[in-house]
């Protein structure tokens, strides 16, 4: 699928959907569903999970709306209101697509997610009340030292998939000529 800028977006293989969603949810649980994070930390981690769910692409239609609803629920569970204004919809689509395309490559994951994290940061407001304050308390945080092995494997597959398309495209112009010269 092409985004409006003409870049090719690759989603996760559909056959791996259940496995990917389970792995994303399991890692999110290990991170205490993002409780105990400052607004900027929450935006950064929420961008990561937004991208992971978007890349899984669970539905034919409505992935963006579903993930926005998920972000709202995730925010409430962490003591934040996450509300993306309708005016930000086009911007959200652009930064979400950039995260999937990975213009900075696999070695700079934070840079690929930075525009999405910045947009999410503008959509986050701390909820009021004692319960919300408890949810945001740093003692609630469970940061991961590294992604879980399942998530690392999925990321490696994602990089391999994207690389294969780039290599295939580069070879597309070479192989037919080589095949023709070999068949003579």
Which pLDDT does position 4 carry in this prediction?
Answer: 44
Strand 124-126 to strand 80-82: parallel, antiparallel, or no bridges (unpaired)? antiparallel
Helix (H, G, I), strand (E, B) or coil at 1: coil
State what percent of residues in the chain have pLDDT above 70.
Answer: 85
Please answer whether residues 20 and 26 qualify as being in contact, where contact means their C-beta atoms are separated by less than 8 angstroms.
Answer: no
Higher pLDDT among residues 182 and 26, named by residue: 26
Q: How does pLDDT run across 67-88, given as a tens digit for each residue?
A: 999 999 999 999 999 998 877 8
Helix (H, G, I), strand (E, B) or coil at 49: helix
- Which pTM does this prediction carry? 0.85
Mean pLDDT (the chain, rounded): 87
Q: What is the mean pLDDT of residues 99-124?
A: 90
pLDDT band at 51 (very low <50, low <70, confident <90, very high): very high
Q: Which domains are delineated in the chain?
A: 14-182 (1.10.3290.10)
pLDDT band at 107 (very low <50, low <70, confident <90, very high): confident
Angle of CA points 105, 107, 113, to nearest 5°:
65
Annotate 160-181 with b (16+ C-beta within 10 A) or e (fewer).
eebeeeeeeeeeeeeeeeeeee
Alpha-carbon distance of 26 to 142, in angstroms, equals 13
Lowest model confidence (mean pLDDT) among 16-30, 35-49, 93-107, 136-150 = 93-107
Q: How does pLDDT run across 119-174, given as a tens digit for each residue?
A: 999 999 999 999 999 999 999 999 998 999 999 999 888 888 777 666 666 677 67
Which pLDDT does position 3 carry in this prediction?
Answer: 44
Helix (H, G, I), strand (E, B) or coil at 124: strand
Please answer whether residues 87 and 123 qualify as being in contact, where contact means their C-beta atoms are separated by less than 8 angstroms.
Answer: no
């Amino acid at each position: 699928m092409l985004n409006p800028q003409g870049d090719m977006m690759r989603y996760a293989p559909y056959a791996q959907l259940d496995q990917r969603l389970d792995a994303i949810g399991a890692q999110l649980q290990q991170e205490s569903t993002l409780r105990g994070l400052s607004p900027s930390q929450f935006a950064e981690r929420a961008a990561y999970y937004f991208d992971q769910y978007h890349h899984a692409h669970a539905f034919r239609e409505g992935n963006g709306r579903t993930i926005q609803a998920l972000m709202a629920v995730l925010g409430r569970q962490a003591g934040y209101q996450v509300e993306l204004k309708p005016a930000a919809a086009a911007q959200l689509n652009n930064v979400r697509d950039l995260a999937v395309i990975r213009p900075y490559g696999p070695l700079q994951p934070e840079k690929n997610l930075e525009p999405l994290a910045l947009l999410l940061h503008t959509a986050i407001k701390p909820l009021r009340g004692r319960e919300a304050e408890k949810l945001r308390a740093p003692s609630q945080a469970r940061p991961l030292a590294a992604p879980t092995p399942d998530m690392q494997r999925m990321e490696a597959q994602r990089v391999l998939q994207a690389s294969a398309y780039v290599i295939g495209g580069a070879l597309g112009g070479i192989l037919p000529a080589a095949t023709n010269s070999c068949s003579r």
